[in-house]
Amino acid sequence: MQKKQAKERIEELRKQLEYHAKKYYDEDKPEISDFEYDMLMVELRNLEKEFPEFQSKDSLTQKVGGHVKEGFQKVTHEVPLQSLQDVFSIEDVKDYIKKIDEKAEENGIKKVNYVVETKIDGLSAALEYKNGEFVRGATRGNGTVGEDVTENLKTVKTIPMKLKDKIDITVRGEVFIAKEDFEKMNQEREENEEELFANARNAAAGSLRQLDSKITKERPLDIYIFNVQKIEGKEFNSHYEELEYLKELGFNVNPVCIYCNTMEEIEKAIQKIGEERENLSFGIDGAVVKVDDLKFREILGTTAKTPRWAVAYKYPPEKKETKLKDIICQVGRTGVITPMAILEPVKVAGSTISKTTLHNEDFIKEKGLKIGDTVVIQKAGDVIPEIVSVNKEKRTGEERDFEMPKTCPVCGAQAVREEGEAAVRCTGIECPAKLFRNLVHFVSREAMNIDGLGENIIQQLLDRELIHNIADIYTLEFEEIASLKKKGDKFAQNLVDSINQSKQNDLYRLITALGIRHVGSKASKLLARKYKNIDNLIEADFEDLSQINDIGPIVANSIREFFDQEQTKDLIQKLKTAGVNTQAKQEENIDNRFEGKTFVLTGTLEQYTRGEATNLIEKFGGKTSSTVSKKTDYLLAGEEAGSKLTKAQNLGITILTESEFNEMCQMGQAPTIH
C-alpha cells in the first residue's frame, strides 16, 4: 500500500472507530458486533505499525475509548484502569509468552507462572474502601478519569458495604448482567414495545450509568472482582494470592481462575474456557492471560493504554449453517406480530438452536430470506441466536417468499403496519394475546380508574377464567372477587364499589380506556367534547376526524381502523349492556380563558400533581406540551426546574410561578379538577 493510500485508510479507520466507540462506550448502543469492531482495530494497529509516521496519541490504538457522561461527577483514578491488548489466535498468545519469557531471562527470572481468567463482558468499575467501608465507586471512563457512580453501585447486592478487615483498599471489577436475567429483561422490554438491549454488556453499562439510582436498583446487576488496584498495609507476591485475600474480605471474585506453569497449560485453559463458556451463567468475550508475579509485572510495566503483563485472547463467533424450515408469527401482549424462524436444529456455541426471532418484515427483506433457504446462524454476544446471512448458492428453486399476515393469527382482526414503523400490529381489542395488557390499561388511573384492580389481581382473574374480555369486569360477582384473597370480603366490597363507580365516568375516560393507538387522554377529551357520545364517534368519518385540531390524518385513520373492527363493536355493546356511561357529561361554567394557549410544565408543584395541573389548563381551553418551543406561551415552573426553564428563558417565554398560575385560574370561577 502506498503512503497516500495508507494515510487515507488510517484516517478513515480512526473516524469509524471513534464513531463506534462512542456508540459502544458512551451511548451503550453499538451498531456493529464486537468482532467487527476488533477487526477494524487490528487493521488500524497494523497500518500504524507499518507506517509509524502516521501514528498519533489521539488514535484509539493508544487510548481507552470511553468518556465521562454529563451529569456525573468526575473521578480521577489514582491507579489507571487500563484496557487490554487483544489477540485472536493461539499463535499470537504463543508469541506473547515467548516475549515475556525473553524479558524474564534478561532480568534473571528463571520461571514465569500465569493465571488464565474469563474476560467478563461487562463494564469495568473501581471500588474504594476506607477502614473497610465502601466510600466510592467509579466507572473506567477513559482509564484516567471516570464517573462517580457510588449510589448506583450501592444497589448491587454482591458489593459488600463493609469488609471483613478494616483496611484501605481499591479494587477493580466487572459489572455485568447474567445471561438469564438479560433474556428476561429483553423479553419484558419486547412486551412493552421498548427498544431491546443489543447485548448484556450494554444493558449493564446503561444500567450502571443511570443518573437516577432508583432505575439502577431495578436492574439485575452483579459484579466480579478481578484485581487489586491499591492496598495499604499489606503486600503480596502474586496475583493469585491477591484473589484469595479478596475472597476472604467478602468480595465476589471472578469464579474462573486457572493457574498455569507452561504455554501448554495456558492453551488448555483457553480451550477449556471456550468449551465451557456456554454453561457459564455470565457472558464472556475472551480469556485473559496474566503474569502472576507482581514484582515482575512492575518490571514489564505498561504502555499508555495497556499493561504489558497481560493479554486478552478473543474467541471468534461460532457460525453454523442450517435450514430455514418455516416462518411463523407470534403475537405479543401489545399486539405486535413478530415473525419467528423455525430452523432445522443445529448446535451453536454449546446450545441447540431450533428457532430465532426475525424481528420484523424489514429484517427478512434486508437479509433476503426465503422459506427453505440454507442460512448461517451465530449467537450474538454468546446469548441470542441470530441469522446473519443466506447461502444463496445452495438454493434449489423450491424456496418460498414470506409475506406478513394481513390478519392477526390469534384473533383474525386486521393487522396493520403504520407509515414510518417497522412493526405490524393486531388491531383487535378482544384479542386473547393482548387481553392482559388491554385490561391493565383499561382499569388504569388515567383511563377508567378502577382502584384495586392491579396487574396481580387481573392475572389471577385470567388464570381462574373469571374474565375473558374487558366487559367481564362488570359482571364479576362479590364472591368471585373475595375468593382471590384470604379474608377477602373487605377487598371485594371496595373493588365492587370502584367498578360500579367507574360506570359513571365521563366519556373521555372510556375513550382513553379503549386504548386506540395514538389516542391518549388529551385526544380523548377533544373527541368527547366534539361528538358528545360514543355512537357519534363510531359513525364519524375520516375527513371529519382529521379536521380536528391535534388529531390529524394519522390519528384519524387509527380511530377509523379501530371502530371498523367487529371486536370493537361487540365490546362497546357489552359495555353499554353492563351500564357503562357512553355520554359526555355537560361541563358547567364553561370558561375558555386559556384557549389557543400552550403550557409546558416543569419541576415539582406544591398544590397540584402534573395531571391535575394539566386537567385545569385543559378545562380552561388551553393545552399542554412536553417540550419548550417558540410556540409555547407559558412555562409553569415548580421547584427544581431544569433545562426546560433555561430554554424558555432563552426564547423569552413567559415563566409562571405556581402562585402566578393560581392567580390566573382564580380570575373567574375555576372548574373542578377530575
Sheet containing strand 623-625, strands side by side: 623-625, 598-602, 634-637, 654-656
Distance between CA atoms of residues 528 and 524, nearest Å: 6
What are the residues facing 147 on neighbouring strands? 74
Alpha carbon distance 540, 516 (integer Å): 15
How far out from the chain centre does Cα 31 lie? 15
The answer to whether 647 is a known catalytic residue is no
Residue in 69, 119, 314, 370 annotated catalytic: 119
Whole-number Å distance between alpha carbons of 50 and 5: 13
| Secondary-structure percent of the chain, ordered helix, strand, coil, rounded to 5 | 40, 20, 40
Positive/negative CA dihedral, 86, 92, 96, 99: negative
Total Cβ atoms within 10 A of residue 7? 15
> 549 vs 527, 535, 544, 545, 611, CA distance in Å?
10, 21, 11, 9, 21
State how far the Cα of 443 lies from the Cα of 445, in Å rounded to an integer: 7
Amino acid at site 16 = Q
Cβ contact 92:100 at 8 Å: no
Q: How buried is 462 (Cβ within 10 angstroms: 0-12 exposed, 13-18 middle, 19+ buried)?
A: middle
Q: Are 402 and 364 in contact (CB under 8 A)?
A: yes
Task: Specify the length of the chain in residues.
Answer: 674
CB 457 within 8 A of CB 484: yes
Catalytic residues: 119
